């Protein structure tokens, strides 16, 4: 995954502090659609700086796609799969498919919350500055 960010500070260990402005899904063009009130969120991230970017530079950072895809699979697929599995099992064994399906869904939400906390503790996502951003790439 790549994102356009601004370098805020550089450190002697070869890393840089970068600022990423998170846009809302509707592109943040609120005056076009009567204003949804979506706030722009800014994140400060640490990234490897092999290209020697300096503070104020617009750069492109890249992160591994694997952890993001795994998180999406856990968040979106697990509740769906466990609901239907619970429904089928509950209907076959106890004639209470909807109840068992809902309980399985609730359990999957608990698993998602625990997984999120585990990932947040690890902070394992590694960002690397790959190139200087060009003007036509949009963003900032």
SS3 51: coil
pLDDT for 140 beyond 90:
no
Using N-to-C axis directions, what is the helix angle for 78-93 and 97-122, rounded to 10°? Answer: 150
pLDDT for 38 beyond 70:
no
pLDDT digits (tens, 9 = 90+) for 90-116: 999 989 999 999 999 999 999 999 988
What's the start-to-end Cα distance of the chain, in Å? 18
pLDDT of residue 130: 94
Neighbours of 127 (CB within 10 A): 22
Q: Using an 8 Å Cβ cutoff, are 54 and 7 in contact?
A: yes
Where are the chain's structural domains? 1-64+125-140, 65-124
pLDDT for 55 beyond 70:
yes
Residue 43 tokens read as: 């994140």
pLDDT of residue 43: 87
Residue closest to 38 by CA, chosen among 23, 48, 52: 23
Q: Which CATH architecture has domain 1-64+125-140?
A: Beta Barrel (2.40)
* C-alpha 96: how far from chain center: 36
Q: State what percent of residues in the chain have pLDDT above 90.
A: 54
pTM of the model: 0.61
Q: Using an 8 Å Cβ cutoff, are 48 and 14 in contact?
A: yes
pLDDT for 26 beyond 70:
no
Residue closest to 81 by CA, chosen among 105, 99, 107: 105
Mean residue pLDDT of the chain comes to 85
């Amino acid at each position: 995954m790549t994102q356009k960010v601004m370098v805020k500070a550089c450190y002697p260990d070869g890393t840089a502090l970068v600022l990423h402005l998170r846009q809302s899904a509707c592109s943040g063009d609120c005056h076009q659609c009567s204003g949804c009130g979506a706030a722009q969120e800014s994140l400060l991230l640490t990234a490897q700086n092999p290209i020697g970017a300096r503070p104020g530079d617009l750069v492109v950072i890249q992160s591994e796609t694997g952890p993001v895809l795994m998180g999406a699979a856990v968040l979106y697929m697990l509740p769906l799969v466990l609901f239907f599995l619970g429904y089928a099992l509950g209907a076959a064994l106890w004639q209470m498919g909807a109840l068992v399906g809902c309980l399985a869904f609730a359990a999957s939400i608990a698993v998602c919350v625990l997984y999120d906390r585990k990932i947040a503790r690890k902070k394992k996502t590694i960002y690397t500055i790959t190139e200087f951003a060009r003007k036509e790439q949009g963003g900032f």
